Structure 1
Amino acid sequence: MRWKVPAGVLMALAFLIPATPAAAQTESPGLNEACQTVERKVYKDIRELVTIDLDTATDVQVRVLAAQILAAANADSFSVLPRAIQERLKGTADDLRAFLKADVQKAWSTDLRITVVRTLTGAGPNVKAATQKVLDEGTIDAYLAYLNDGLYAARALDCASQPTPTPTPSATPSATTTVAPTPASSASLGAPGGEGGGLAVTGADTATVASIGGALLLLGGAGYLIGRRRRSRFVA
């Protein structure tokens, strides 16, 4: 049967025959949740891929379109839409055609909503407020506008309101710091024979030396007198 086209062929056709020529767009960088400058993630509007009339398109055209949407969904790291398309690609062309006409946007909207909720991780007050507003609207246009632009604008406000970190003071002493001299050991002050000489001996040490000297003089005088008396007796 003609509708049984290999999946590899469909993927090749999806890239070789784009539905609409995409113009090169240069997006300005944005901030991530850590306030670091990064390249923006741009989510494609899948509705722009549908350039054929699904009621009159051939089975091959329908399958090529499904492959193009699958490639775009995988590039955006979606989970719901790729699984749904892969399941329909296993069925008939009529089932795939009905899915593309009625249910593809529902699955895509679910993926977009999940992606919006994930931006709340580590979010600041402005991102939280913008996210809640988008979730309340709940439309595909609101999701795309938020993910491609609104998220980065709100994140820039949150990063700008963060306090500037205070520099840590240096532990290196300044040039004007006065360093106190280390006191010399008291044991070296009175040590005799040291370099430069010691201090003079005074006080109790001087009195002791004088007492010993006087006692020696007395003993010497007494010895002299005793010796002289003995000599006189011997001569007589």
Structure 2
Amino acid sequence: MSGLYIERRSFFHSLDPRAKLVWALLVLAASIVTQFNGLKSFPIFVSTIVALILSGIGAGLAAILIFNSLIFLLITTLVWAGMYSNQGRLVLDLWIIKVTDVGLLVASGKFFLIMSPVFAFITFFVTTKPYHVSWTLEKIRVPPKLSTAFVIAVSLLPTMVKATRDVIDVQRLRGLALDKGSIPERLRKYIPIIVPVISRLLSDVWDLSMVLASRYVGYSKKRTYLLEPKWVKRDTLFLLFSIIFYGVILLWGLL
């Protein structure tokens, strides 16, 4: 199972998984601290965009992720700017919703709080083989069974999405109109989709459990790995730069 991993030759692919994991956690920590000020969290978001580009996932996929995030930015702006409409200087008056500078800062900060860690962990999983993800988790003292279960769950995500898409296409060919009717009717129409998807996934999980049992996975207390990543100078420099960059932003956010 390759899961979210994409085989490429890029800067992030060449990094040690431990360095990438620490980087993603630093992005998460800095995003949490600066969540109420979009000006302070903007450099974090830019760094994750640069990471997506350096991960070699392709311009098309990166453009789709960024475009979808802009839609989410519009939603968060309408929600949070409305909640802070009585604070700060009025910037934009949209009839019912009044947007102030404070509301924009909070809305953008909340947007970056969600999207920056999402982009960071997408970069991590896209550039790290599931084999090495499990190895990294065990290096930080995560139990082997838990790390294996986590890696399998992440690896099954593309399979779940594809299975759902296939079932929806088949049901639409049979005349199921998901975009018509009231909200309760639309929800009821998803039952012919949920049942086949769950049935298919249960079958896949059963087959996978047989494969794992035949390989004695989960019965030994400690796993061994044939190919282990090696920490090199490039990883040290990347980690030091990340600690300094996000450390400054953390201090800025705390101040």
TM-score normalized with structure 2 length: 0.26
Structure with the bigger RCO (C-alpha within 8 Å, sep 6+) is: 2
TM-score normalized with structure 1 length: 0.28
Q: Which has the higher helix share?
A: 2
| Higher Rg of the two aligned structures | 1
